[in-house]
Amino acid sequence: MTGDRITLTADELVLGAEIGKGRRLRALERRAADQFPTPPDLAWARDVRGALAELAFAKLLGVYFMPGSRLDRASGDVAGYQVRSTCDVENGELILRPPDAETRIYVLMVGADREWRRAGWMSGKEGKDRSRFWSVVPFPAFHVPQQALHPWPPPAAPQRRTPEEDFLDLT
């Protein structure tokens, strides 16, 4: 691990894949419409990559990764932060959707499989600058290039949930 880079172990890859698989299966059980419709094979990959990115970010922070049993935008993905990911190392962007909370801090993790890098962070309010809005794509969103992201750490970390609060969400 050097600076904002992290390498996941083989066991962590298995854990991330299981978490991502579980998310996809729960969505299928609920017959939940994909928030961002994609072909089925890409939906599975997106869920696994997202879980791996969250796991890598938690490892960078030195916090225990306690994935929730359901999507919880109010408390954040890891330690109060919202984690987004891309495998496009050079040109991948932090994507913010119109319903994303402006009060949250969004972190972009870049990588795939074992190797990940924390590209930076931005608040929802700052990231939702009209100049970054793409309305011509099938999924309107704000696109923040890596070069525009702030270096770590943010001025104030979001309020963290306790492991007990995470556990209660699982029951």
**Structural domain total, the chain:** 1
∠ CA 101-105-106, nearest 5°, is 90
Q: Is the peptide bond before 154 cis (omega within 30 degrees of 0)?
A: no
What are the backbone angles phi and psi of residue 55, rounded to the nearest 5°? -65, -45
Host domain of residue 86: 5-170
pLDDT attached to residue 83: 94
pLDDT attached to residue 171: 46
Neighbours of 26 (CB within 10 A): 14
Q: CA-CA distance, 104 to 75, in Å (whole number)?
A: 9
Q: CA-CA distance, 57 to 74, in Å (whole number)?
A: 18
- Ordered per-residue pLDDT tens for the chain, 171 residues: 445 899 999 999 999 999 999 888 888 887 766 666 677 778 888 889 999 999 999 999 999 887 765 555 566 788 889 999 998 888 899 999 998 999 999 999 999 889 999 999 999 999 999 998 988 667 789 999 999 999 998 876 655 555 555 555 554
The partner residues of 142 in beta bridges, in order of sequence, read 96, 133
pLDDT attached to residue 71: 53
